[in-house]
Amino acid sequence: MPPVDIRRWHRLFGIALTDLFADTSWRVELEKELALKSQLLDVAIIEGPGEAPAVPEGLPDGLDGLRAHNLLTYKSQHEALTAWTLDELIGHYVSYRKLTSPKDALIPEAAFGLFAVATRFPEGLAREVTLKPAGPEGVFDVPWGARHIRLVVLRRIARHPRNAPWELFSAEQDRLRDGVMGYRARRRSAMALLRALYQAYQLEDPDMAYTMEDFLREERAALLNDLTPEERQRLIEGLAPEDVLRRYSADDVVKGLSPDELRRLKDRLDRMH
Tens of pLDDT along 124-169? 999 999 999 998 999 999 999 989 999 999 999 999 999 999 999 9
For the chain, the three-class secondary structure string (H helix, E strand, C coil) is CCCCCHHHHHHHHHHHHHHHCCCCCEEEEEEEECCCCCCEEEEEEEECCCCCCCCCCCCCCCCCCCCCEEEEEEECCCCCCCHHHHHHHHHHHHHHHHHHCCCCCCCCHHHEEEEEEECCCCHHHHHHCCCEECCCCCEEEEEECCEEEEEEECCCCCCCHHHHHHHCCCCCHHHHHHHHHHCCCCCHHHHHHHHHHHHHHHHHCHHHHHHHHHHHHHHHHHHHHHCCHHHHHHHHHCCCHHHHHHHCCHHHHHCCCCHHHHHHHHHHHHHHC
- Lowest-confidence region among 110-119, 174-183, 262-271: 262-271
What pLDDT does residue 36 have?
44
Q: Is 207 left (phi over 0), alpha (psi -120 to 50) or beta?
A: alpha
Q: Are 32 and 39 in contact (CB under 8 A)?
A: no
What pLDDT does residue 6 have?
85
Tens of pLDDT along 230-241? 655 655 555 455
Tens of pLDDT along 28-69? 988 775 554 456 789 999 998 766 656 777 899 999 889 999
**Most confident segment among 44-53, 109-118, 203-212:** 109-118
Flag whether pLDDT at 218 surpasses 80: no
**Residue ranges per domain, the chain?**
6-207, 227-272
- When pLDDT is averaged across residues 206-217 and rounded to a whole number, the result is 70
pTM for the whole thing? Answer: 0.72
